[in-house]
Structure 1
Amino acid sequence: MMDAVPTRPATGETRALLSFVAGLSWHELDDEVRRAARRHLLDTVGVMVAGCAGDVATRLDGVLAQVRPGGAVPVPGRCRRVDTLDAAHLGGTGAHGIELDDGYRQGSVHPGVAVVPALLAQAHGRGMSGVRLLEALVAGYETVTALARACHPDLRQRGFHPTGCVGPLGSAMAAGRLIGLDAAGLGHALGLAASSAGGLFAFLGGGGDVKRLHAGQAAREGLTAALLASAGVAGPPDVLEATDGFFQAFAFGRHEWARRLSLPPAVPFSLTDCYIKPYACCRHIQPAVEALMGLAAEHGLNADQVEAIEVETYAIAAEHGETGWSDFASAQLSFPFIMALGLARGAITLSDFTPQMRQSPALAAICARVSVRVDPDLDRLYPDFRPARVTVSTPGGTFVREAKEALGSRLVPFDDAGLHGKFRGLVAPVLGTEAAERLLAELLAVEESVDVSSLLDLAAPPAGAAR
């Protein structure tokens, strides 16, 4: 007789998370974790500058400006100063606005866009040190990744966007740690943030701009929860495992509960296994497009020679196989369009998503030759890997390449030179070369900073400028 499917997770999950967050010490972390924290802060700030200067953040800023006055907090890439919560909102939306933000494969989630904007907004003007900021960043990343890992793949399979669901809780723990909440206060912040969890994955069918908003809302709502908790507002206790709590809402369904929430030191710090994106598109597509670009370079293939491009991959990635490319956001999530870009241009950059490119008959012709299907053997490898097999058919023969991961992962590292090059390429067009170098230098020395307010000051154009 089979055991009954459990209806609740193991108890003590919330207390374990709160104990971990409250007890975290930057000086007790090893060099690998501290290096990863500095790199992901640098990467996320660079993406924020470019993303906040983009279309969705600009429209959001316009709406916010209509309904309330500005403030004193700078927003990366933008000239208007806003209040703390709007800075987190705009920062998170912009950071997720160009598909170049970091992520965590085992939970299919983007930690940086929820955690970093909230921390920078709250730290501005309050004399927070670099060590305090980085310590809170680690707490936020580990919260996001642990929760997303515990809920994966149920959460995504039920139609939710993991970043929108677990992001508010990670933001709350990061902000709560930054402002000095004790374990009890963190518990209230977590309980409050859990009720802001949400975000649907329906954007694969169009309307992809809402995906960007999920990240901004996560950053804002988590920060709000921490501030409310500091003001004495109570949240539900044991909110992760409680009846009608977070796990019941987001983790139960297709799989019986078999995993506890895993946190360091029982498991390695997940921050060291978060990826940094080299290409401006959905991470699920990147191993396949890297394989295609590798085949094209190795065999001298061009679009005119290619008769068919067959992609075999895991199920969650294959869901992007039918996504269109008529708008900017959808094009970055579209398997056919990204593969067409990879073959035709040998790279995936922000400049490849203009209306002219999306309407290109030549790229559309390549898109028509792309097919995507699930391979059961590859599907079983996910989420330990992001496997893809690409088969290119030409009159002269058939070429095949497999990939387990893309550049930027722990398996295929993105070195410091590449990371700094990415940063400069994103920031210099918005702020200018000299300003980009000053901001980079400040980020590289963040651990020695006595007041991290300068990060936002340097990341934003002068107040009142044209942008």
Structure 2
Amino acid sequence: MNKNIAEFASKLNYQDLPEPVISIIKYSFIDAIACALFGSTKLWSEMARDVVASEIQKGTCFFPSFPKGGLPPSSAAFLLGSYCHAFELDNLRFPGAGVHPGAVIMCPLVALAREYGLSGRKLIASAVVGVEALSRLGLATKHSLENRGFHAPGVIGPVGGAIACAAALGANSSQIMNASGIAASMSAGLLAFAKSDGGGMIKRLHLGRSAEASVRAATLAVRGFEGPDTAVDGQFGLLEAFCPEFNKVALTEELGSRWESLSICFKTFPAHITAHAPLMAALELLKTHKLLISDIAKITVYASKKVVSHHNIKQPHDIMQAQYSVPFCVAAGLVVDLSDPENFNSDLLQNPVLQAILQKIEVCEHVGRVEHSWHARVRIFMQDGQEVENDAAQFRGLPTMPMSDEDISRKFQLLTKGVTTPDRLLSDLMEMEKSEFLPPLV
């Protein structure tokens, strides 16, 4: 990774951060923990936990569903990252660049917190370091690696997470360079799940592996283990190996003056982010024009080229593929309230009303100018000949339409209603900068 990033990461302090950056990073910790608590209840999460628990480890990280003896940081990070991404609810960067801060930065930091006695302010500053580095790496890839079939969060996540974890451990700039160099060789993740007849559980694991690699690379680096300083932007480095297109300048562009942390987006629905704009647009049309779904003749979704190539899945084989499918998510959101993630369940795969609507949805590439890659336009054709259209460039959760304290709290409470947590967990996390330690999670 570029030496300027390592230097920035080794010197940034909590006192250097603007208040809006502090607030959104706290939101990201709260969101990540809530997503992990909810995700921990899923079958695939239980499978991962059982494998880890069978290794008979003990440690200082405690979390609902963990073994009673706790887990060491790397194992804890693996599970927390997997839990966080277990149901397509975790936060990410806007516009899309394969950056999922909650799962690959906040989760490994949570895994380290008790072992190393990290204060709330240290966690926040370290998270900012990771987000700033990871977001710029995502921009440098030009999101082109997914055109080759790589899943971006699994490829770039270890590098940003390792930088955050190394900073949290008090690493100097040389050690941070080594951490990123080690982490780059832990990059992995394929998009095969999107085009297969099953196996979607693996998508959840990509971010768990990123979080685990983040901890492992950072702890190796602070003990003197070395990684190549060219592992990201040099010959045979990450950018050259994974990306058909890339822009090295983006790695350090406006570093320290433009806060990428302010680009974090928070999800409303348990669905791929590219489904949010068309679903919200369709719901608004139904509400505004008092339309009945039984009277719909056709729905056309205009979206990005990548949505057409990667997310236009008409007959998903499992829940993961369903959440990755834009037409399925739009149809599902017209049948059930997807703001409650419990409603996105396997019954939807065979729901006759949903299936009838799904057959009426077509996804086409945008014609004309668009504002960003998540921008969508929805046109609904009714059986009586009426046509209505909605353009959705902005939606709640984007930095331009941010969630409030109340929105974040509501999502936290919704996701944790089925999990036992300390009574003051949410309020303590809202004021984590005042704490000498991360609030107990159990």
TM over 0.5: yes
Name the TM tier (shorter chain): over 0.9
CA distance in 2, matches of 1:38, 1:447: 8
| CA-CA distance at 1:256 after TM superposition | 6.5
CA deviation vs aligned residue, 1:43-72 (integer Å, no higher than 9, x gap): 111111111222222110111223343434
Equivalent residue number for residue 211 of structure 1: 203
CA deviation vs aligned residue, 1:191-250 (integer Å, no higher than 9, x gap): 100001121112212422111101000000111011111121111123222211122112
CA distance in 2, matches of 1:283, 1:76: 27
* Alpha-carbon spacing, 1:313–1:57, altered in 2? closer, same or farther (3 Å): same
| CA-CA distance at 1:334 after TM superposition | 1.6
Q: Pick from 414, 427, 439: which aligns with 1:441?
A: 427
CA distance in 2, matches of 1:131, 1:89: 24
SS in 1 for 2:258: coil
Equivalent residue number for residue 406 of structure 1: 395
Equivalent residue number for residue 354 of structure 1: 345
| CA-CA distance at 1:79 after TM superposition | 5.2
| CA-CA distance at 1:120 after TM superposition | 1.0
SS in 2 for 1:234: coil
Equivalent residue number for residue 104 of structure 1: 93
CA distance in 2, matches of 1:451, 1:430: 22
1:171 aligns with 2:161: yes
Equivalent residue number for residue 295 of structure 1: 285
Verify the 8 A CA contact 2:28 2:101 in the aligned structure 1.
Answer: no
| CA-CA distance at 1:126 after TM superposition | 2.8
Verify the 8 A CA contact 2:28 2:106 in the aligned structure 1.
Answer: no
CA deviation vs aligned residue, 1:378-434 (integer Å, no higher than 9, x gap): 5x5434xx21111111123011111113210012221111110000111122116xx
Equivalent residue number for residue 7 of structure 1: none
Task: Give 1:245-394 correspondences, 5 Å limit.
Answer: 245-251=237-243, 253=244, 255=245, 257=247, 259-265=249-255, 267-318=257-308, 319-322=310-313, 324-378=315-369, 381-383=371-373, 386-394=374-382
| CA-CA distance at 1:188 after TM superposition | 0.9
Consecutive unaligned residues of structure 1, counting only runs of 5 or more, are 1-12, 461-467
CA distance in 1, matches of 2:232, 2:224: 20
CA distance in 2, matches of 1:359, 1:163: 30
Equivalent residue number for residue 465 of structure 1: none
Equivalent residue number for residue 233 of structure 1: 225
Count of aligned pairs between the two proteins? 436
Name the TM-score, length of structure 2 as normaliser: 0.94
CA distance in 2, matches of 1:427, 1:264: 38
Equivalent residue number for residue 24 of structure 1: 12
1:149 aligns with 2:135: no
Provide the aligned C-alpha RMSD in A.
Answer: 1.8
Letter in 2 for 1:353: F
Verify the 8 A CA contact 2:163 2:176 in the aligned structure 1.
Answer: yes
CA distance in 1, matches of 2:102, 2:246: 29
Verify the 8 A CA contact 1:73 1:124 in the aligned structure 2.
Answer: yes
Name the TM-score, length of structure 1 as normaliser: 0.89
Letter in 2 for 1:91: L
CA distance in 1, matches of 2:51, 2:248: 44
* Alpha-carbon spacing, 1:121–1:256, altered in 2? closer, same or farther (3 Å): closer
CA distance in 2, matches of 1:425, 1:78: 21
* Alpha-carbon spacing, 1:279–1:320, altered in 2? closer, same or farther (3 Å): same
Consecutive unaligned residues of structure 2, counting only runs of 5 or more, are none
1:186 aligns with 2:176: yes
Equivalent residue number for residue 222 of structure 1: 214
| CA-CA distance at 1:358 after TM superposition | 2.0
Verify the 8 A CA contact 1:46 1:427 in the aligned structure 2.
Answer: yes
Equivalent residue number for residue 62 of structure 2: 74
Letter in 2 for 1:306: I
CA distance in 1, matches of 2:368, 2:98: 19
SS in 2 for 1:307: strand
| CA-CA distance at 1:377 after TM superposition | 2.5
Q: Pick from 71, 80, 83: which aligns with 1:91?
A: 80
CA distance in 1, matches of 2:348, 2:336: 11
CA distance in 2, matches of 1:332, 1:415: 25
| CA-CA distance at 1:99 after TM superposition | 0.8
SS in 2 for 1:59: helix
CA distance in 1, matches of 2:381, 2:216: 53
Letter in 2 for 1:208: G
CA distance in 2, matches of 1:185, 1:259: 23
CA distance in 2, matches of 1:418, 1:79: 32
CA distance in 2, matches of 1:51, 1:267: 35
CA distance in 1, matches of 2:248, 2:66: 45
* Alpha-carbon spacing, 1:84–1:108, altered in 2? closer, same or farther (3 Å): closer
SS in 2 for 1:391: strand
| CA-CA distance at 1:153 after TM superposition | 2.5
Equivalent residue number for residue 129 of structure 1: 119
